[in-house]
Structure 1
Amino acid sequence: MLQIHQFPCLSDNYGFLLHDPASGETVAIDTPDGEEYLRQAEAKGWRITQIWNTHWHPDHAGGNAAIVAATGARVTGPQEVTRIAPLDCEVRHGDVVNLGRWRAEVIDVSGHTNGHIAYHLPQASMAFVGDSVFALGCGRMFEGQPQQFWDSLSRIKTLPPETILYCAHEYTASNARFALHADPENIDLAAYAEEIASRRAANEPTVPTRLDRELATNPFLRADNPTLQARWGGGDATQTFAALRAAKDSF
């Protein structure tokens, strides 16, 4: 079985090391802090052999150089990563990368940035989604357009509902406050928000999350819901998503 080590990085990022005991390979999923990744891998007794970047932002690819210098790790990611770091393997939607015998399917989840991708490991029921979707939220639309971003979220929505989503930031408490504002009659959301408040009060992480829970509670994944559409202007899913994202930006 794959082993996952999650740890805090920078001010609110999470780092992820994914280790395959059978092959001895370890992949760093994004690299917000290269030195911290190296320390964490050493503590686990793992050697980082690969880096999988989701997008080009420095808090996701800024540690590549330090890890490569220390380990010689092979770097895989979308072309946009070359804005700040070299790639060994450029991937796009529909490609497959491997960690030992485990396959990760590359999914276009652009919108936060124009080249953003996710890595879905169907055999392990997990996906590393970067800043495309968060527990009860989604990334800011820095480079994309509403239709593009909604199409990306729609691809995430089609994954098996039991998929565990490993998102990159601890934003859930603030996301929950906006979600309650956006969808106040959602009973499932109210219960989820209470659980989040309790976990954060105990300084526990709220990441990862399950897709089926997000489908029931995350307003950005529910932009095709008639109740939300009526509440946010009566438009279609793309218009509702755009209205929600604009409202969250100024919330």
Structure 2
Amino acid sequence: MSHKEFSKQELSKELNQNFTNSVKLLPAFQDNYIFVVSNKNKEALVIDPGDGDVVLDFLKTHNLNLKMILVTHHHHDHIGGLGKLVAQFPRVEVFGPIRHVGEIPHLTQAVSAGESLVFGENEFVVYDLAGHTKGHIAYFETQRHWLFSGDVIFGLGCGRIFDGTFEQQYQSMQAIKDLPLTTLIYCAHEYTETNFRFLQSLGELSPEQKLYGEHLKEIRQKGQPSVPLELKKEIVANPFLLAKDFTDFSRIRNLRNQF
């Protein structure tokens, strides 16, 4: 099953379903996910809309009014759809990282760590998770423990460092470890299968790593997303969360760059 076919099937299955207080995944491009949260008033919040057409089709199908957009960082596959969405919904509020002001178009409010955003019954706290980029942030929903982590952490992996630093990325992974174990991680890319192969290349797996990795592999073989990830499982299996210290983390990240 191709990624495009999976996308169409998922959108079809969601038709006319009530998904208030849940997160919907919209596949985009080759391996991106865009996320949508809605409330009982038929209002929608969208996270990292790289593709405006995908989002507009979904909103139209479900008769949703776009009220808020949350952006984690400035890369095009996370912001490329902003223009089309703002044109269609000119009153939408667009929130993004303060350290990327000027790099994200249509931003209505720059936010930084510790700020709280409210959407209906949902409250999102901003976390500074720099590393992948110098200003990368994430949004943590406090009641349901959803983490919209952008490109900081992936299934059995972590984000490549661009204009941030290895030290920032290491500290961001440590911050994720401190979140509640019930946290569900909504990362923006489906890299799980490749990351599992990389994990296997590092040497003998622990029983937890083998069991979790095979579980994720089976999910993907069925054409299903591995997202959301369960933090309690990533903590015992993800090599970047298991790194002994900064030196060990940097070593593994450099190996992953060459994999």
Task: Provide TM-score, normalisation by structure 2.
Answer: 0.88
State the Cα deviation string for residues 109-135 of structure 1 (Å, max 9, x = none).
Answer: 100000000000120111100000011
The aligned residue for residue 233 of structure 1 is none
The one-letter code sitting in structure 2 at the alignment partner of 1:75 is: V
The answer to whether structure 1 residue 78 and structure 2 residue 102 are counterparts is no
The aligned residue for residue 60 of structure 1 is 78
**What SS class does the counterpart of residue 65 from structure 2 fall into?**
coil
State the Cα deviation string for residues 25-47 of structure 1 (Å, max 9, x = none).
Answer: 31110111011101011112211
Query: Is contact 1:133-1:167 (8 Å) kept?
Result: yes
The aligned residue for residue 251 of structure 2 is 243
**What SS class does the counterpart of residue 66 from structure 2 fall into?**
coil
- The 1:81/1:32 distance shift into structure 2, 3 A limit, reads farther
**What SS class does the counterpart of residue 149 from structure 2 fall into?**
strand
The equivalences for 1:1-251 within 5 A come to: 2-21=21-40, 23-72=41-90, 73-79=92-98, 80=100, 82-182=102-202, 184-224=204-244, 237-251=245-259
- The 1:241/1:100 distance shift into structure 2, 3 A limit, reads same
Report the aligned-residue RMSD: 1.3
Segment drifting more, 104-113 vs 173-182: 173-182
**What SS class does the counterpart of residue 74 from structure 2 fall into?**
coil
Segment drifting more, 42-51 vs 168-177: 42-51
Q: CA–CA distance in 2 between the matches of 1:218 and 1:183?
A: 13
**What SS class does the counterpart of residue 38 from structure 2 fall into?**
strand
Query: Is contact 1:130-1:167 (8 Å) kept?
Result: yes
Q: CA–CA distance in 2 between the matches of 1:183 and 1:218?
A: 13
Report percent identity of matched pairs.
36
State the Cα deviation string for residues 159-181 of structure 1 (Å, max 9, x = none).
Answer: 00010000001100001111222
Query: Is contact 1:56-1:82 (8 Å) kept?
Result: no
The one-letter code sitting in structure 1 at the alignment partner of 2:77 is: D
Q: CA–CA distance in 2 between the matches of 1:147 and 1:8?
A: 31
Query: Is contact 1:25-1:47 (8 Å) kept?
Result: yes
Query: Is contact 1:61-1:81 (8 Å) kept?
Result: no
Q: CA–CA distance in 1 between the matches of 2:203 and 2:59?
A: 41
Which blocks of at least 5 consecutive residues in structure 2 are unaligned?
A: 1-19
Question: Structure 1: which 4+ aligned runs deviate by more than 3 Å?
Answer: none
Query: Is contact 1:97-1:105 (8 Å) kept?
Result: yes
